[in-house]
Amino acid sequence: MINVLFIGPQGSGKGTQAKRLAAARGIPHIATGDSFRAAIADQTELGRQVQPYLDSGSLVPDELTIGLIRERLQQPDTAGGFVLDGFPRNMAQAHALDEMLAQIGRPLSVVFEFALSDEFALERCLGRAIEEGRPDDTAQVIVKRLTIYREQTEPIVGHYRAAGILVVIRAERSIDEVDADLAGALQQAVA
Ligand code: ADP
């Protein structure tokens, strides 16, 4: 069983890797951004509440986000492991996650930080914006999400470094190199 967390700025490729790892291991890929977008598409009450935050690139309020993850982690399909992607995104969420995982007796096995400079992140996001047409991928909203990442999300990396479970992946390199790094680190993490 492996419980993995991916942290990284927009454009770092963490979502792609998180999805792939989950598929390869047959464990759920839990991505708060995807859940919020699905809720918006389905026009649920949650979707209605979170839409303005996604549109403007702000963080959704913690009570909504933490509630969503608490419910998701209680689903039986997480018992064999899970991949978290996009949560936690600030210190309050990190502490809430610690508590939830302690309660269910399932600590994180490894945390991957996909480290990427702003220059690379911006360039990749703008490229993706043209390819995918996600509504929050305009230059202005991307810059806002990156600023929030540096100010609120990056500080939680230190929390996991102190816990001794952090692995830094240099995300500016080729997909093949990132793949190799990740595979090696995973082997060590489950050994
Ligand atoms: P990106 O990493 O490119 O910003 P995501 O799909 O991870 O894309 O997130 C999209 C949006 O969903 C965020 O800008 C934010 O509004 C919301 N969101 C996702 N995860 C969280 C979270 N853990 N806390 C608060 N808001 C979140």
Other beta carbons within 10 Å of 42? 9
Ligand 1, from 60, 91, 125, 154: best to mutate by most atoms within 8 Å of Cβ? 60
pLDDT per residue over 53-99, tens digit each?
999 999 999 999 999 999 999 999 999 999 999 999 999 999 999 99
Compute CA distances 158 → 65, 73, 110, 144, 161, whole Å: 22, 24, 14, 22, 5
Map residue 174 onto helix, strand or coil: coil
pLDDT tens-digit map of 95-129: 999 999 999 999 999 999 999 999 999 999 988 87
What domain range is 115 assigned to? 2-189
Does 145 participate in catalysis according to the annotation? yes
Task: Tell me the whole-structure pTM to 2 decimals.
Answer: 0.95
Mutational test site, ligand 1, from 10, 12, 36, 85, max ligand atoms within 8 Å of CB: 36
For residue 75, what is the domain's CATH number?
Answer: 3.40.50.300
In total, how many domains does the chain have? 1
Exactly one of 14, 25, 37, 124 is catalytic; name it.
Answer: 14
